Chain A
């Protein structure tokens, strides 16, 4: 009888520990930075020669993905409406690596011709105070045109923003 009681106590304790672990993990996560709105600057590629269509596709996809990820106010580069917004976060992106790849090679060989792009994302306040810096990459390995790498990057960058910033409409 005692053995059964012991076993049931152990089982319940271990269940409690397992159930509580995600809650503890959440407590350990760093607090999200308050961001009422985000402004996306045009992608810079001074060191790496990036085709204009990639630059524009990166920028447009990034804005679209940030809007999808719950940022209620996403301002474009140079938007005058963003000047007086409180808790504004500015996203500066600089291309650090680019491999054009080949859609034909991808489809014919499957293993070669991947397109990849690495972008350094820096989130700052309008005064230039840095809040967060990350290198985010975008890839297309099997299907799709080369520009699909820009979509992959945008999704990952928006995810980084979602993880680290709290927008009023998203909480």
Chain B
């Protein structure tokens, strides 16, 4: 078997990104859409860590960047779920296409 190279990680990351994009674009349930966004952010993190590794064992800048991405993901999830609860209280729905207050 071939040793695992950076390209393997990039292919995996691209596949995970596409799975997450399909989830964001096709699912109606907002909770699952937010989970798909987590998948996309994890795909980005895999790429960052793989490149950090490819530059050498002492290179940790990609890992530090991945930590910032995780911090952003936490902030985004907390605010998004807060918005979701406020929305559910007003509209009684969690389906993305039923929230059309700005549509006429």
A, B: real partners: no
| Chain A interface (Cβ < 8 Å from any Cβ of B) | none
